[in-house]
Structure 1
Amino acid sequence: MRVGLWIEGQLGAPVEEVVRQVSAAAEAGYARAWIGEVGSWDPLTLLAVVGRHVREIEVGTAIVRTYPRHPLALAAQALTVQAATGNRLVLGLGPSHAPIIENEYGQSFSAPGRNMREYLSALTPLLRGESVAYHGESWTAVGGIGVAGADAPPVLVSALGPVMLRVAGELADGTITAWAGPPTIDDMVRPALERAAAGAGRRSPAVVASVCVCVTADPDGARRWVNETFGRAGELPSYRAVLDREGLAGPGDAVVAGDETAVERGLRRFADAGATEILVIPVGTAQEKTRTVQTLGSLAPSLHAG
């Protein structure tokens, strides 16, 4: 199981600070540095810059939103990042959520599963350098993208329900989960992906589990911090369904927190459930976040070996 790191500096920090944090992640032993779309930097543009400065680590998006980006535009962005970074990008994408897509972008969020199926049907051939003439209900894409030196990046889909998991297994290389613990990965995510991938003749899919982690002497305090900071996530239908499935009251209950031994044990449960990578999201106080990043970096080789 690989260990990647969510880069906190993406939240409006100067580019130089993001570069520093990604460089530190590489030195600490993390396999990938992940950046998302969080109302600040454009993640792909930022990764193109960061990847030119830091060449010792893979980079990934967790996630970029599909609705605001035409498949031709996203293919051009992703292949540009591939060329700029020496083909070290993992492209994580997802539909986002109705309040964001409808209220901020003014687009309909109806039938996100169908929308994603159409999107990937156009996008993945474009990433391989093929021309497309795709006409669907939600998307039309006609043309091709050619970027010298760029290979098609792996594509991961933010998928938490059966429809989106089937789409991810059939048309992508795996999924990135959010708030999903080992029981959900073991009982639903991994089996659904494997069935869909096998039916489509694709190889075993990746499961990147996003996990809030805090190495701390105050686990309850870390959980309160997450509920105060990310509490609204529990109100979004797709996240609420996952929390309910695991019997959790709020996002804070999904945190892996405690001393080094407890955290390592908690993360190994994800590997046992079928996760191929842990995307560590450090939470808590500034000191706790620093301790968590350092601790998980030192544990990364043993977790990878396990």
Structure 2
Amino acid sequence: MRIGVFVGASVADLMTLDGLLARIKQAEDDGFDSFWIPHISARGYDALTTLAMAGMQTSRIELGVGVVPTYPRHPAALAQQALTTATATNGRFILGIGPSHRPGMEEGFGIPYDRPALHTREYLSVMRPLLEEGAVQFNGEFFNCNLELAALERPDCPILVSALAPQMLNLAGQLADGTVTWMAGPRTIETHITPRIRRSAENSGRPQPRVCVGLPTAATDDENAGRRKAAESYARYGDLVNYRRLLDIEGVESPAEVAVIGNEQSVQRQLEAFAEGGATDFVGNIFDVPGEPDSGQRAYDALKALVGKI
């Protein structure tokens, strides 16, 4: 299982652009498999621009965005930007996309959150041919396109979908390269996410998909303190319908209950459970535990020590 770091899930993760690029370079030097950032329109920098810059300052580490909301961007525009980023990173860029959530799209952008599964299917049907072949002709309900995207270089650009519901998981298996999850616990990965997306990919003649698990992560001897902090920092995710569905499948009430929290041995056991359930990648969003000033570094070191060992 590949192991990476994810920065940007909470306001506490905000940093300067130079600081973020330095974090990415350090993660590569420390041997991590990947580094991920979100694309949150209300916070931080444009994710693809940032990762393109990081790609030109690194040589090995995979660089992922988790995820770009699809409704505000035309698939052809995102394809062009993704191709540029994939070229700048020498094929180390992972493009995560998803329809996001109704409140952000309707209240923030004023865009109707209409039939997200169909919207995502059409989005992939336009974007994937542009990335892979440089041209697309498509007529649908959301998009009608006859476009070309010429490029001197056309590196691989894996597409992962933030697929959580059954219909979206089937879609991700059929048309994408896997899924990237957030707030999915081990039971959910093993019984809900992995079997559906693998079955869909197999039925569609596609390679086995990646299942990337992103979760808050803390290394501490006081697990209760860590979970109290996680409950405070990540509470809003429990109120969003898509994540609430996953928490219900897991049988828990709060995002804090699926976070990876504990001492180094416990962190290792929790990651092993995800690997056994079919996860191909784990990406930790490290947070600090109050009263433990070294907890963030401790979690970072715990994940670093597990790279290549699970």
Q: TM-score, normalised by structure 1?
A: 0.95
Aligned to 1:17: 19
Structure 1 gaps of 5+ residues are none
Bigger helix share: 1
Residues 199-224 of structure 1: CA distance to partner in whole angstroms, max 9, x if unpaired?
A: 21111111001122111112111111
Q: Is the 8 A contact 1:2 1:278 kept in 2?
A: yes
Query: Would you say the 8 A contact 2:17–2:45 is kept in 1?
Result: no
The answer to whether the aligner puts 1:161 opposite 2:157 as a matched pair is no
- Number of the residue aligned with 1:192: 196
Once the two structures are TM-superposed, the CA of residue 147 in structure 1 deviates from its matched residue by 2.5
Give the deviation of 1:14 after TM superposition.
1.8
Matched length: 303
Counterpart for residue 306 of structure 2: 299
Q: Once the 2 structures are TM-superposed, how far is the Cα of residue 195 of structure 1 from its aligned partner?
A: 1.6
**Aligned ranges 1:110-125 → 2 under 5 Å:** 110-125=114-129
The amino acid across from 2:90 in the alignment is G
TM-score normalised by L of structure 2:
0.94
Q: Which residue of 1 aligns with 2:178?
A: 174
Tell me if 1:281 matches 2:288.
no
Which piece of structure 1 moves more, 288-297 or 65-74?
A: 288-297
Deviation of 1:44 (Å): 0.2
- Partner of 2:168: helix, strand, or coil? helix
- 1:227-256 CA-to-partner distances (Å, cap 9, x unmatched) read 111101101111111111111111111111
> Partner amino acid for 1:156?
L
Counterpart position of 1:268: 272
Percent of pairs identical after alignment?
Answer: 37
Task: For 1:224-235, list aligned pairs within 5 A.
Answer: 224-235=228-239
Q: Which amino acid aligns with 2:309?
A: S
Contact 1:29 1:301 in 2 (8 A): no
Q: CA RMSD in A?
A: 1.5
Q: Does 1:6 align with 2:6?
A: yes
Contact 1:214–1:283, Cα closer than 8 Å, also in 2: yes
Give 4+ residue runs of structure 1 displaced > 3 Å after superposition: 8-12
3-state SS of paired residue (1:67):
coil
How do residues 91-106 of structure 1 correspond to structure 2 at under 5 angstroms? 91-106=95-110
C-alpha distance in 2, partners of 1:250/1:12?
24
- In the alignment, the residues of structure 2 paired with residue 246 and residue 7 of structure 1 have an alpha-carbon distance, to the nearest angstrom, of 24
Unaligned stretches of 5+ residues in structure 2: none
Residue in 1 that maps onto 2:37: 35
2:6 maps to amino acid:
W
